[in-house]
Chains A and B, each alone.
Chain A
Amino acid sequence: MAAPVLETENLVKIYGRGETRFDALKGINLEIGKGESVAVVGKSGSGKSTLMHLLALLDGPTHGVVALEGRPTGDLSAKELNELRNSAFGFVFQQFFLTPNQSVLENVTLPLKIAGVPAAERKRRGLEVLEQLEMADKADNKATDLSGGQKQRVVIARALINDPSVIFADEPTGNLDSATSNVVEDILFGLNRDKGITLVVVTHDEDLARRCSRQVYLVDGQIVPSLEKAPGDAAPREEDRHPWAQQPSDATGPVRVAGPATGEVITLSQADAAAIARAAQEPARPGRHAAPAPSTPDQPGATA
């Protein structure tokens, strides 16, 4: 593996406290090498979005360290973090986040505008990157007048314009049909291959994940060796279409189980229970015990 561009050490993220306490990440150790393409795969509530936010320095961890190119980022000021994000990272979101009523060029050059680059240079670099993505003829169009695939290309152009070392893509193809998805994936992996830009893709799309050089599977805030797909789970569930809907859904009520070690009754969310059920169905792997000790829920509905 090449020298790590991003490293984490025992990364813990806890939301809320007391009754509402939710442990999103429970000690993540991860290294992402320069030029790697890494897929972070997990269900809603697995903590994959939280992990991406911490890696992208959008949020700070409760405990642990995120290091960028060997430098810990914990003691950086808000201003330094802003500048780092602006210069080192590119973002591609499922929801595009294009500003309506602004031209494609204006949308693409937003990171440069924030960085304080003069207007003339912004335009030059904006057209250059649009050219690269075969979108130069749409530079003066309103961003809202484009098709989904074109919008995502504009978003990729925006992510590319500051020459980032890492591009974070959060469900980049979640809003696209499969043909357009393939085109967008080709572009992203082409950039990874040709320009050596590190790619961190957060997705629950197994096909997209397989195209990455490495997959990181998250279950319940911890890295697990792999996810065994439960039968009938091929199509993403509705709640998984929204990557931010990661809080466990309590729609069908929590699942109460007996703790394996102590025998005390603990409450699991439905999603947790489902993940545990899946983990329980695969053979145990030596040396890794990231998932909680498999315990079959005593409620049959939990596997749904």
Chain B
Amino acid sequence: MKFIDLLRTSIGNTFRSKARTILTVIAIFIGSFTLTLTSGIGTGVNDYIDKTVAAFGNENSLFVQKVSERSTPGSNEGDGPTEYNPEESNVRLGFGSVSGLSDRDIEKIEKIDGVGSVDPMYMVTPKYLESANGKKFKLSLGSPPEADGLQLESGKAPERAKDEILLPASWVEPLGLGSSQDAVGKTVKIAIGNAVDQDKTFTATVSGVSQASLAGSSDNPIPSVGLNKELYDYQSSGSPRKVPNSYFTATATVDDMSKVGTIKSQLADENMLGNTVEDQLGMFRAVINGIVWILNSFAIIALLAAGFGIVNTLLMSVQERTREIGLMKALGMSGGKVFGLFSLEAIFIGFLGSAIGAALGIAVGSIASGALSNGLLSTLPGLSLFLFDPFKIALIILSVMFIAFLAGTIPAVRAARQDPITALRYE
């Protein structure tokens, strides 16, 4: 018997006992529908995390901080007081100071193999932002590297060398800039004081408008690297004595992500700590994946139960068709082909259940996604709770078909082993 005839016959046989086939298909449908939805949530949430990761900064950014030597006992010999090091700089905060990265540290980072560029984070505290209509707003600036990964409503990220600034979407209207599109290209003024509290105003062009995101980094306007440096230079000027530069953190751009491990250990040798975005979000991702897998396992249990449904359905079919099997074997059909006939029927039942389940799962998920992002989840723009990856959907359908095949082997073997004489006598 040719494969195409075998396939046609088994598909035809599937519908011979409609009620039984439909019930079995429903069992499989429930499993694959659930699996499609849970995998949709997994894909949707992970996709959102990916976007959010981007909002925290570039994927190949390494955030470097100084590790206070006092917090790492054992790095010094003995427990006595640490000797004063004029080279060690502290970042002055309102409530004291912490060990910061000095210019020498920045140079050390730059020298590490694999590091492309290093941008120290300048602590800039401007006084206010003044819009074209003369209104003044309190201002704290975001860090320039954060601009890279943000979802933009319009325009683009600030260019490094230009005096540009990226505004959050929520700022556009209060500043009187019209729509997000209109805002691009308009100018705002930033006022900042120096060490002796002399104010100076800098003009910045709006390069783009950013969407809100989970990371929160888009809540503040973000200046370009160049503008940020200018503001910092002015802020630290005017002091009678040169204060050594000190940075809370620096962003190192890593050229080759495979070297991150060695770069981190080299940083550790210099009492510095480097973290990638992935390090910071890894935990979050692990929890989400854990939840998705728990949901998946429920769906898989449902599928296993459905597998027994297939075994049952086909065993009944084999029983009912005993004489037909006997006839086919008497007429020269091999046991292998009989096995194929019943296996294909099982696979087809699996395909029906999983394809319908996946299709309906995608439909329901997409509708729910749309409704949720306009309702319950509207505070998280960019999140679609269910996202369907065609590859994963295909994988689900194929796995269900494989489970169906495995379930079908028991009845199929029984059919293949039928002795034609006994089978023809069967009543």
Which residues of A line the B interface, CB within 8 A? 53, 56, 58-59, 78-79, 82-87, 91, 93, 95, 97, 99, 101-102, 110-111, 113-116, 118-119, 244
Which residue on chain A has the smallest CB distance to residue B17? A101
**B334 touching A119, Cβ below 8 Å:** no
4 additional A-B residue pairs with CB within 8 Å, beyond A58-B420, A85-B331, A110-B327: A86-B333, A114-B331, A114-B332, A115-B1
**B421 touching A116, Cβ below 8 Å:** no
Whether, in the assembled complex, B398 has its beta carbon less than 8 Å from a beta carbon of chain A, the answer is no
Answer whether A93 and B424 are a contact pair too, CB < 8 Å, given A113-B5, A119-B5: yes
- A56: B residues at CB distance < 8 A: 330
A-B contacts, 30 of them at CB < 8 A, read A58-B330, A58-B420, A58-B421, A59-B421, A78-B334, A78-B335, A82-B332, A82-B333, A83-B332, A84-B332, A85-B331, A85-B332, A91-B327, A91-B331, A99-B324, A99-B327, A102-B12, A110-B327, A111-B331, A111-B332, A113-B1, A113-B5, A114-B1, A114-B332, A114-B337, A115-B1, A115-B332, A116-B2, A118-B2, A244-B424
Which residue on chain A has the smallest CB distance to residue B2? A116
**B333 touching A114, Cβ below 8 Å:** yes
> Which of B9, B12, B324 contacts A97 (CB under 8 A)?
B324
Whether, in the assembled complex, B323 has its beta carbon less than 8 Å from a beta carbon of chain A, the answer is yes
The main secondary structure of chain B at its interface with chain A is helix
**B327 touching A97, Cβ below 8 Å:** yes
Cα A119 to Cα B1 in complex, Å, equals 11
- A93: B residues at CB distance < 8 A: 424
- B330: A residues at CB distance < 8 A: 56, 58, 85, 91
Cα A93 to Cα B332 in complex, Å, equals 16
Cα A86 to Cα B425 in complex, Å, equals 20
Which residue, B330, B333, B424, has most C-beta atoms of chain A within 10 A? B330
- B333: A residues at CB distance < 8 A: 82, 86, 114
Which chain B residues in 1-34 approach chain A with CB under 8 Å?
A: 1-2, 5, 9, 12, 16
- A97: B residues at CB distance < 8 A: 323-324, 326-327, 424
**A53 touching B421, Cβ below 8 Å:** yes
**B331 touching A95, Cβ below 8 Å:** no
Cα A206 to Cα B332 in complex, Å, equals 31
- A111: B residues at CB distance < 8 A: 331-332
Whether, in the assembled complex, B410 has its beta carbon less than 8 Å from a beta carbon of chain A, the answer is no
Whether, in the assembled complex, B328 has its beta carbon less than 8 Å from a beta carbon of chain A, the answer is yes
Q: Which 6 A-B pairs have the closest CB atoms?
A: A86-B332, A244-B425, A82-B332, A85-B332, A97-B327, A114-B333
Cα A20 to Cα B2 in complex, Å, equals 42
Cα A119 to Cα B3 in complex, Å, equals 12
> Which of A79, A101, A116 contacts B16 (CB under 8 A)?
A101
Which residue on chain B has the smallest CB distance to residue A113? B5
Cα A110 to Cα B323 in complex, Å, equals 14
A150 CB, min distance to chain B CBs, angstroms: 18
Cα A113 to Cα B332 in complex, Å, equals 10
- B9: A residues at CB distance < 8 A: 113
Which chain B residues in 173-211 approach chain A with CB under 8 Å?
A: none
B235 CB, min distance to chain A CBs, angstroms: 86
Answer whether A114 and B328 are a contact pair too, CB < 8 Å, given A58-B420, A97-B323, A119-B5: yes
**B328 touching A95, Cβ below 8 Å:** no
B247 CB, min distance to chain A CBs, angstroms: 79
- B12: A residues at CB distance < 8 A: 102
A97 CB, min distance to chain B CBs, angstroms: 4
A99 CB, min distance to chain B CBs, angstroms: 5
A79 CB, min distance to chain B CBs, angstroms: 6
